[in-house]
Amino acid sequence: MSPEQLLAPPVTTLPTLRAAVTGLPAYVPGRRSLGADIAALASNESHYHPLPAAMVAVTEAAGRMNRYPDMAAVELRERLARHLGVTAEEVAVGPGSVGVLQQIITGLCDAGDEVVFAWRSFEAYPILVELAGARAVRVPLDDAEGHDLEAMAAAVTDRTKVILLCTPNNPTGVPISHERLEAFLQSVPSSVLVVIDEAYVEYADTGPDSLVLYRRYPNVCILRTFSKAYGLAGLRVGYAIATAAIAEGLRRTALPFAVSALAQKAAVASLDAGEEMAARVSAVKLERARMAAELAAQGWKLQPSQGNFLWIRADDQLLASLVDAFNAAGILVRAYAGDGLRITVADPASNDRVLRLLQAKAA
């Protein structure tokens, strides 16, 4: 026998991934900025530097990174409870709101159970649902780029465990109205958990008062994040507000210590810096309005966005031409084949580059 034959074990079959994993749609992350003149407008991040108070909190916490963080995130949950007017028992935190959403789906769905959501919406939804072995039920958006709540209610079956609503919707920017959301909650079984994903709520001038609905309908779960307006995308922290029983279940399904002490401290400091954050959000909203007005004048027909991004519905021919132009200009944006293009609203100089490019494309 040769030495290779002695060392190599006989290989008959190799480890295989579950079919749910090999069949997953790949999550396409926003491309990263590669240089100073590249505008990163693909991931709806905050273009501002971290809040000074968050920097101080992280620097302090870094000196204790040999220790595990507080697994129960007591300080952050109590601070959030005070901020929101709920109890800490009704708050569950996780590594980004995507992390919390994974806990929600794995905590509520057995194999073959159904999760209903609008499409197109947030790309992570089908991935998390299918990974859990549940079935993704996509309900097309209406003609105004919003959730078709009647069709979503009609899609509920006795296998439906969770409904995901995204307001304002990523990537279209369209919110759900409070009245329509309340009518929807009255029409779906109270045994179905209705998750209201409000990743962009800080930027929204209109939309539901989800906390009011949560108090009226115990099957509501609100999902929020520090990744967008609060500018902590790189630290991974988000949270759910749900009944104490559901929130307790989410805390049980959490990966231990998934939210670092740095993230917990930065989140608390950011809540304390609410006015500074609000000023930043106001500036982005002004830029959003400026861009929307200018694009309308250029002849683009866009739905008003309540997020920190704009949505251009485009067939694949227009999409390819826009993507080429943005790539050539060094502006990273997010293209969705068959649907359109999402552009993050950022600093005035980057926004001007977007407006100039789209002016040329509109002409």
Ligand X SMILES: *Cc1c(COP(=O)(O)O)cnc(C)c1O
3-state SS assignment for residue 169: coil
Residues near ligand X, by CB under 6 A: 44, 96-98, 122, 166, 170, 197, 199, 225, 227-228, 233, 238
- Look-up: residue for tokens 């944006």? 333
Which residue's CB is nearer to ligand X, number 226 or number 357? 226
Which residue's CB is nearer to ligand X, number 122 or number 214? 122
Question: What does the longest C-alpha to C-alpha distance in the chain come to?
Answer: 79
- Going from the C-alpha of 26 to that of each of 22, 92, 124, 322, the distances in angstroms are 10, 27, 9, 23
Which residue's CB is nearer to ligand X, number 267 or number 357? 267
Question: Measured from the CB of residue 259, what is the shortest distance to ligand X in angstroms?
Answer: 11
Q: Alpha helices of the chain — where are they, by DSSP H?
A: 3-7, 19-22, 52-62, 74-84, 96-108, 124-131, 149-154, 178-187, 210-216, 244-253, 261-272, 274-298, 316-328, 348-362
- Cβ partners under 8 Å of residue 152, min gap 6: 116, 118, 139, 163, 165, 184
Question: Measured from the CB of residue 363, what is the shortest distance to ligand X in angstroms?
Answer: 32
Give the chain's length: 363
Question: Measured from the CB of residue 98, what is the shortest distance to ligand X in angstroms?
Answer: 3
Question: Measured from the CB of residue 231, what is the shortest distance to ligand X in angstroms?
Answer: 11
CA 82, 84, 87, 91 dihedral sign is: negative
Which residue's CB is nearer to ligand X, number 197 or number 287? 197
Complete DSSP assignment for 16-81: ---HHHHTPPPP-PPPPP-STT-EE-SS----SPPPHHHHHHHHHHHTTTTSPP-TT-HHHHHHHH
Question: Measured from the CB of residue 298, what is the shortest distance to ligand X in angstroms?
Answer: 26
Please give the Cα distance from 273 to 19 (Å, whole number): 46
* C-beta atoms surrounding 103 within 10 Å: 22
Which residue's CB is nearer to ligand X, number 251 or number 357? 251
Question: Measured from the CB of residue 324, what is the shortest distance to ligand X in angstroms?
Answer: 25
Question: Measured from the CB of residue 226, what is the shortest distance to ligand X in angstroms?
Answer: 7
3-state SS assignment for residue 162: strand
Which residue's CB is nearer to ligand X, number 113 or number 197? 197
Strand order from edge to edge, sheet including 334-336: 309-313, 340-344, 334-336
Question: Measured from the CB of residue 66, what is the shortest distance to ligand X in angstroms?
Answer: 26
Which residue's CB is nearer to ligand X, number 169 or number 357? 169
Residue facing ligand X at closest CB distance:
96
3-state SS assignment for residue 140: strand
Question: Measured from the CB of residue 105, what is the shortest distance to ligand X in angstroms?
Answer: 13
Which residue's CB is nearer to ligand X, number 31 or number 159? 31
Which residue's CB is nearer to ligand X, number 97 or number 350? 97
Contact 319, 340 (CB under 8 A): yes
